[in-house]
Structure 1
Amino acid sequence: MDTTLILANALIFALSAGLMLISSRSAGGIRGAVWFAGSNLSRGAAMLIIGANLPNLGRVRYPQPIAGVLVMTGVLMLHQSFAELLERKAILLRVQCGLVAAITVALVYFSLFPSRSSVPIAALHVVEGLLYLLVAVLVFRFSGKETAPVGWFTALALAIYGLILFLKAASDGDHRSAAAMAALMLMACLVTTVVTAFGFLSLSTTKLRLELLWRAQVDDLTGLLNRWALKRMALREIQRCRRAEHCLSLITMDLDGLKTINDAQGHSCGDVVLQAVSGVLQETVRANDSIARIGGDEFCVLLPDTCQEEAVLVAERLREEIDGLVIRYRGVNVQTGASLGVSSSVISGLDWQRLADDSDAALYQAKREGRNRVVLARSEEITGGEPRQWDESRLRVSRIS
């Protein structure tokens, strides 16, 4: 029975390692999957060394020190694989010292006392159980909201196996229950290996799916929503505002003079300006407002439950904040301005395309009338600062003394 379970565990370890290596590019990145595969190979080798000392399988000299070091090295690599997957490298560095110390102590102990008594075996099981519990805590604590069910189930399997190792250590001196406890431990190891492998694959697949979803909705440079994500958000808000009979407003904003900044200081400076403006937008509007970058220097702000008068005030506050924004870049101060168009469901109705078209038309009216101003759709100019001609001779770039 023990021989069959040991060989079954070794086979499952090998199959799981091969699966991780094959799917490493999709399983949370190459490094995490390779660490997981190495962990399974190390623990599988320990199983074979233990099995080699059973009847009809020959013998290995000093099996306990070798198997002990392989097992703890395997659990260490298991910890690193989940730390890579869950992106907790800072915690990994702190915990790694303790894990390496545990392996070093075990290596020295088993090298100095390579006896077949129950003391080193019990010590091995205690240390191994602690390491499994540590991995379980890592997986349980840092599985995200979307991956929580799979992460918690995987952590539970690891924790149960750690507790079984503690029970095995406590029963090593009891020869009457030793055989039953060994069989239980091998069965638990078999189940834990399968559950952990599927848990790792599920977590990595979910992580990949969320990353692709994030890339499909978010602008890489600014971290804001993109045009597609803004439209989806707007359609949901339109349905909600229609049911609640609330207003909905949209601000479309274009930066004044960004092309001149790019020509004078380079596109990397323009990227810094876009990121700084994105920060101003996020700090100025409400948490439930949606901000998107829909073009090179064009932004949109969706304002739920906001009438046109309030939307104009928000737009004017944004214009003032951007007008006063000073960006330091490679020894120079760079400033820009903004033209803004505002549309509201009061005039345009609760129709996304009409809201977008009207705010866009108001924006271009603001640019035609001198820029650095706010215009409400289908109205005269509402408010604005001093018009500027955004050519290179008027670009507000000054050396820092």
Structure 2
Amino acid sequence: MLLALYTLLTLANSWLYRETKGVNWFCLYSLFLLSGAIAIALRGQIPAPVSILGGTLLVVVGYACLYQSLHDFFGLEGSHSSFQVALLLLATIAMLEYGWIQPDTGKRLIAYSLILGLQQSHTVLLLLRNHEPALRIPSMSMAVMVGALVISNSVRILGILLHGAPDNYLNAGPFLVWILLVNTCLQWGAMVTYIWLTAARLRGRLEAQAITDPLTGALNRRGIEIAAGKRILLCKRDHQPLSAIVVDLDDFKRVNDTFGHHCGDATLITIAACLRNGIRPGDLLARIGGDEFAILLPNTPLSEAIEIIECLRHSVKHTEIVHGSFHTRVSASFGLAELEPDVEDWEQLSMRCDKHLYEEKLTRSAALSRQSAAWTSPSADTIGLTGRTALG
């Protein structure tokens, strides 16, 4: 009855998190455990060999499904399911030998407990391979539950070696009854911690969506504020330099107005990828406005940040944006600021970046104005030279 309730719980969980990898395998784990318990409960109403083989092998298959479920859930590389398959084959041989050919309850329970213990130990090792911070506590809790199942099976082996086992498992004494109840409670704990895992994974995804720009995949304004706040505190504590860059695309409105917003989106996606490729693994990229990006450079002095800006400026300028028949290039302006003792948070640091960005835009605008004036209003010497060239 308890396993039936657990199975209903896991089915409801799989429906809620049906897009989560491995959740269907976990449902199979629950169903196989329930089917194994039903087969054992029907002893006397169905042939004993069928009850014995069904009750043991279905549980072994269930724990193989548990391993595969967690392997897919964590997205781990390199499957070791062949070990589980080998244990399943070994269990089949042992159950046929001691449950049908030469029935022996003691030897069968020892072999069964040993194989389950190996399966569960294999699963614990898989849980310990998880390194996702958001899933560390629920995965460790599940490892404790499955690890306790290993201990329970070891205790059952020890008890049978010392005191033997009855010919009919359903007539077992209090020792084996308590082992069964403990195992059932621990299986419940494993199922609850798995539901905790799926809920934690969903929460992590929602938190990631809340701080990520959906168009470019970079951090959004909230994301960079949170991340920068942590980095600023660390750099101040450790007396390490930190720099920040604000990037603004020049004349981006022209792209939207001339070619449409789809081309504008393609431009933002391409430039975001260009900026991401131009920074280091520990640096952070964010889109903080329509055509404005921010880059946080931890442990980076101003002189090094200037070199990074020049590389980014060159990369942006020579990056071609392609969207269907649309081909263009854009340039960008950069504002740079360094963390100083009077800067307390990201807002103050980004304001200094904006100030320097504005100054660069003014300088560039003035340079373009002088260049335009030189072309439209040539000097007297140039006029005379041109006139002479024309006359000659």
Aligned AA for 2:85?
Answer: V
Query: Per-residue deviation at 1:231?
Result: 2.4
Which residue pairs with 2:11 in the alignment? 21
Q: Aligned AA for 1:280?
A: N
2:100 paired residue among 101, 114, 128: 114
Aligned residue number for residue 43 of structure 1: 33
Cα offset for 1:164?
Answer: 2.9
Q: Return the alpha-carbon distance in structure 2 between the equivalents of residues 224 and 61 of structure 1.
A: 62
Partner of 1:277: 274
SS in 1 for 2:132: coil
> What is the deviation of 1:216?
1.3
Map of 1:147-162 to 2, 5 A cutoff?
147-162=135-150
Shift of 1:322: 3.8
**What is the letter of the counterpart of residue 13 of structure 2?**
S
For structure 1, list consecutive stretches of 5 or more residues without a partner in the other structure.
1-10, 372-379, 388-401
Equivalent pair of 2:29/2:66 in contact (CA under 8 Å): yes
Paired with 1:125 and 1:305, the residues of 2 have a C-alpha distance of 54
Identical positions, percent: 22
AA aligned opposite 2:128: F
Aligned residue among 67, 70, 75 for 2:55: 67
Q: Are the equivalent residues in 2 in contact too, given 1:28–1:204 (CA < 8 A)?
A: no
- SS of 1:292's partner is strand
How far is the alpha carbon of 1:227 from its aligned partner? 1.0
Spell out the pairing of 1:91-240 with structure 2 (5 A cutoff): 91=78, 94-107=79-92, 110-111=95-96, 114-115=100-101, 116-118=103-105, 119-142=107-130, 144-169=132-157, 171-172=159-160, 175-176=163-164, 179-220=173-214, 222-235=216-229
Q: Give the equivalent residue in structure 1 for 2:386.
A: none
Q: CA deviation at 1:95?
A: 2.1
1:48, 1:87 → 2: CA distance?
33
What residue identity is the alignment partner of 1:217? I
Task: Tell me the CA shift for residue 186 of structure 1.
Answer: 0.6
Higher helix share: 2
Structure 1 residues 30 and 345, CA, compared in 2 at 3 Å: closer, same or farther? Answer: closer
TM-score (norm 2): 0.72
Cα distance in 2 for partners of 1:359, 1:173 equals: 74
Q: Is the alpha carbon distance of 1:12 and 1:272 closer, same or farther for their aligned partners in structure 2, counting shifts above 3 Å?
A: same
Change (3 A) 1:154 1:250: closer
* 1:338 to 2:332 alignment: yes
Q: Deviations over 1:110-167 (max 9, x none)?
A: 4576142143443222222211111121112215333323322321221231243244
DSSP 3-state at the match of 1:219: coil
For 1:298-326, what per-residue CA distance to the aligned partner results, in whole angstroms no more than 9, with x for missing partners?
21123567776665454334323444567
Which whole-Å CA distance do the structure 1 matches of 2:16 and 2:73 have between them? 11
Unaligned runs of 5+ in 2: 167-172, 373-392
How far apart, in 2, do the equivalents of 1:174 and 1:247 lie?
Answer: 67
Distance in structure 1 (CA, Å) of the matches to 2:245 and 2:120: 53
Residue deviations 1:80-122 (CA, integer Å, cap 9, x gap): 222233222x44xx32233234324434554576142143443
RMSD (Å), alpha carbons = 4.3
Paired residues of 1:308 and 1:346 also in contact (CA < 8 A): no
Farther-moved stretch of structure 1 (256-265 vs 176-185):
256-265
